[in-house]
Structure 1
């Protein structure tokens, strides 16, 4: 697990390192510059002619130090100072003096010459205003160049807190950021401007914060979080999943969720579904136990027994929006004594009865995409997509549940306001049934006794890794939901 910081948290960490630990700002600047130069030398790009574009703040000071280090290695470097020299921060002014002392005078206007690499050090994480005027023109010239672009800390023009484009922004091939990733580098559109992100340790840590940062992400090293599978065990050891899923003509959703739960390691899966799905599901997934009901009237007694039998339940995939489905959802929400995941049609039905969320008796996870979240909250999709973290966190807090808000960067928010940002997955997963697979993955983890909130975030991470594995095998265009299911076993194999 790695923390992801916003600009204010990062500034607190900087200040603590400088003021309490005693590392001078110029030392941190030198370390940052060395890290950028290492990346520039190792990324395989042409360094025949380099332009470093510097702002007047400390990010610009980092850039000037980068220019000096490259120059001292015999690499042809031009430096352009974007902004008035009189407005330079103390550190940037000191770096500018060092440049002049070694004979490297900044050019007076943005060069139009061809460069093989441009280092973007105009704005750092402190940018809060729209980029206009000469700065905007400078950024446009960087983007119009055919040079390889390396951004220092964040691409100039990207809001480090939420990934917004502040009028105009540098489109980087690589971003070298320091100590921790910034939220704006993970969320779109910022993630689309950052290119490959390289996080470099320069001696800053989060000890300066009163509490650990609430935002985090997972990496490959977190696969060790997978539930243990003791040698002395049986199918009951790995939990029982109940899926309330699949109306007429929607057996596929139930199948995908059930198979994903099994692939994830659940011991037993029961599907509570419409009678019309019996023969289809018996053929598709004979491992599952079936409890069926007539479409016009579900047996609540059978549902009651199924809920008592299970360790975790999910409701919604392919459930439909009939009166029977509504009645089943109400019963499950008000009576389930086990962790509950609500997805797909369960969310669409719930949008008409939001008060039911207040009546749940156990931990609840909801897994809406943007459209479903819009129906649940009454907010416009555009407003949700531009404020994913706040939207998910607010809904989780107000309803005392875990919200898995699905988008290109899925965000998971818990009732205590911890937030996970997922970075696995790809656009091939934008296909029917992908969400049903995610529901199965999460239920499979909870069945194996993973804490509910952790299972939500870790399930999203694994679901994305399965998608990445499937894309390598099938490509983005041909990827289907059943490919995700088949890839679960692949990503869970010992590395």
Structure 2
């Protein structure tokens, strides 16, 4: 597990380190400069001729310090100061004066020549306004130059909290970021401007993050063995839960199959698929391990019997938006007394009946993609993209649910826990059925008595790691949803072996 702070929380960590621990700001700046150069050396950067673009803040101070340390190594360095003298921070002013005293060239007009390396130290993580005017021109010229492009801490112009481009942004080949990868650097489009990322330790303390739920986090492969529940030797199928999948309208047997199979792969003891009668034969052939129960129209007694049988419920995958589907969803929410996952068409139907979420007395996990979330929130997709954390916080404050907002960077939100941001996975997963698999993964973990929030987080991460395994085997184009399930199984096997 690692933190993904935004600029505000990164500045709080800086302040804590400086004021409470007693590490002077200029010492952190020296560490930042030294570590940046070490990364450049590891990356075999051509040091023939370097231009460093510095702003007026501490990011600019980092840039001046880098220039001095490079000159000590005999590197030819030019500094372009694009900031304002009157706005310089104390540390930036100190570093700039040292550079002047050493005779390192400082220019205030962008040189026309080409350099082997261009270092961006213009704006840091505190940027919260759109870049216009002269600064916009500077970044535009920086992007046009050839040579290797390196960003100090974060590419200038990328919002550290949401990854949005603040008018214009520096396009880095490499970003050397201090202590923690910033939230805006893993979200899109920020990720596309960051290039390769190197996280370096400069001595900033993170203890302030552990005292708040406002700092997002992500997982790493090593976390799987710790989070995955162990299976005890003296158990039977009932020990790992009975899953009810209310999935698959006419012609949508595939969604029912994928979600049910994923639940089984993730450890569920017994799966019952409650589906349209037309899907019976194909599902019995595709997944003989499952119980197949069918309806031709809404039958309240049949639904209630199935709900009473279940330890966990998943509804919505391929369910359709017919009157029967609507009745199934509404009455599932009315009668369910065990954890419930709602996906796909279940979410589209729920958008007109959100008040039902206030009266459900059991954990509910919603798994919307951006369009489905747009329907639940009643706002546009661009609005969600720009303000996803605020929107999710408002939604989960209003409704007592766990929300898994699916995107290139899936976010898990719940009112009493910090945001989880998934950084695994890849473009090969953009295929029909991928969401059905995720719903099944989360449901299978719930069946094994993994707590709901943990099931959502672990499910999202397992699903993404399965996608990474599948891409490694098949490439970006040829991965199918069923391949994700195979990849997930491999991940779980590896995690189990690490537990031993």
Give CA-to-partner distance per residue, 1:170-206, whole Å, 9 cap, x none: 0112222212222211222212211222222211123
After superposition, residues 314-393 of structure 1 pair within 5 angstroms as 314-393=314-393
CA distance in 1, matches of 2:208, 2:452: 30
Name 2:470's counterpart in structure 1: 470
Matched, 1:440 2:440: yes
Name 2:309's counterpart in structure 1: 309
Conserved 8 A contact 2:213-2:417 = no
Q: For structure 2, which runs of at least 5 residues remain unmatched after alignment?
A: none
Give CA-to-partner distance per residue, 1:297-328, whole Å, 9 cap, x none: 23332322222222211100001111111111
**TM-score under structure 1 normalisation?**
0.96
Greater alpha carbon shift after TM alignment, 94-103 vs 458-467: 94-103
How much is the aligned-residue C-alpha RMSD, in angstroms?
1.5
Name 1:222's counterpart in structure 2: 223
After superposition, residues 123-162 of structure 1 pair within 5 angstroms as 123-162=123-162
CA distance in 1, matches of 2:209, 2:342: 35
After superposition, residues 127-206 of structure 1 pair within 5 angstroms as 127-206=127-206
Tell me the SS of whatever aligns to 2:198.
strand
Alpha-carbon distance, 1:210 to partner: 8.3
Q: For structure 1, which runs of at least 5 residues remain unmatched after alignment?
A: none
CA distance in 2, matches of 1:221, 1:458: 12
Conserved 8 A contact 1:4-1:213 = no
Name 1:240's counterpart in structure 2: 242
CA spacing shift, 1:442–1:209, aligned 2, 3 Å? closer
CA distance in 2, matches of 1:48, 1:143: 19
CA distance in 1, matches of 2:136, 2:37: 26
Conserved 8 A contact 2:277-2:294 = yes
* Runs of 4+ off more than 3 Å: none
CA distance in 2, matches of 1:488, 1:473: 13
Greater alpha carbon shift after TM alignment, 357-366 vs 302-311: 302-311
Conserved 8 A contact 1:206-1:212 = no
Alpha-carbon distance, 1:160 to partner: 1.0
CA spacing shift, 1:208–1:254, aligned 2, 3 Å? closer
CA distance in 2, matches of 1:324, 1:213: 41
Matched, 1:277 2:279: yes
CA distance in 1, matches of 2:332, 2:132: 54
Name 2:294's counterpart in structure 1: 292
Conserved 8 A contact 1:393-1:417 = no
Tell me the SS of whatever aligns to 1:202.
coil
Give CA-to-partner distance per residue, 1:272-303, whole Å, 9 cap, x none: 11111111001111111111111xx2333232
Conserved 8 A contact 2:82-2:108 = no
CA distance in 1, matches of 2:187, 2:492: 27
Give CA-to-partner distance per residue, 1:368-402, whole Å, 9 cap, x none: 11111111121112111221111122111211101
Conserved 8 A contact 1:392-1:404 = no
